[in-house]
Chains A and B, each alone.
Chain A
Amino acid sequence: MLRQGGQRSMTGHEAASEELRPIADIDRLVHEPARLMILASLYVVESADFVFLLRQTGLTWGNLSSHMTKLEAAGYIEVEKEFVERKPHTMLKLTSKGRVAFREYRRSMEQVFEGLPD
């Protein structure tokens, strides 16, 4: 199965041995450290605004913005306009698809390194 954001050729992916298949199956969109930080931050809360994510992740404005666009395009996060203290505010939320992707990524990574000798 070729995951979201993956650019690996089907031939290379199919050629991977059964033992290495979990690595090939890892969602590359989630695997990128900056996006992983964004997803982890949003996973533990209901929603957060841009500034909060900026502080939590330590990314630059432009970098965070670009990663958010990619995650939104993949349907992993959604932008919600809501009222905070009676003022309109843009909040970012992990979609159920994003939540599943993050959970699956965690499981995959655990499986990949399970029983690995030191």
Chain B
Amino acid sequence: MSGKVDLRKIERKAYLAYFEDGLWDMVIGLFILCFGIDMATGSPSSSFVLPCVMAIGWAVKRWITYPRIGYVRFAPARQLRIRKSMGVLVLLLFLTALSGLVPLFALSGRGGLPTGLVSWVKEHTLLLFGGVWAIMVAALALLFGVKRFYAYAAIVMGSFVGGYLFEVEPYWYFLVPGGVIVLLGLVMLIRFLTMYPIPSPEMPSDAPAGGAAFDDRP
């Protein structure tokens, strides 16, 4: 026997298996991408696209993910954590939307904010906005316990800092990280489909555990 059997690790691995299909990655990426498209075109396309993305994501999860990796009902503690995470996620979305209003409020000159702060916000509005988005993505990583989302947060922040330094059009700040994250999600989905075909009774096991080799004596 090699290594120690960690039951918490088994549970965590089972939970993380649901993030292997890259769907969350694509949803996050598309969310950012849509924002960039809105900025570039000047029309609020995201209000139409995002509900469609959510619906497609739900369908993919049901018709593609579950038949391939199966369905699990987690222990009450994990279920509670998932419900709490979703609640915090909704709150974060609300706060992100609200944070967009703060610079607007500051720029409007109302609210009695110090002049220094108003001019700083004026100068760094997009950088501030990038920070909020990066924190939002990092919060997702923390909530769901998916480490690669931290890398996405870094990509978002890096894009805003890069865009700010090289003075490119602001919509690129969103289009680049959004596009990269969607692409990464797509790669994950393709890898997931290749790695996990729909199992059938005729299909031999391909997992390293090699169940057929087990001694079946009582």
Contact = CB atoms under 8 A, between A and B. Distances in A.
Interface of A: 5, 7, 28-29, 32-34, 37, 40-41, 43-64, 66-67, 70, 84-85, 89, 91
A51 B75 contact: no
Interface of B: 5, 7-8, 10-11, 14, 17, 62, 66-76, 78-79, 196, 199-212, 214-218
Contact of A48 (B73, B199, B206): B73
B7 A44 contact: yes
B70 A53 contact: yes
Contacts, number: 116
B211 A52 contact: no
Given A58-B208, A60-B204, A63-B205, 20 more contacts: A7-B218, A34-B211, A34-B216, A37-B209, A43-B7, A44-B7, A44-B14, A46-B73, A47-B72, A51-B71, A52-B70, A55-B207, A56-B10, A56-B14, A57-B211, A58-B206, A60-B211, A63-B211, A70-B218, A85-B62
B93 to A, nearest CB: 24
B201 A61 contact: yes
14 contacts: A28-B218, A32-B215, A32-B217, A40-B10, A41-B10, A45-B11, A46-B76, A52-B14, A58-B205, A58-B208, A59-B205, A59-B207, A61-B201, A89-B71
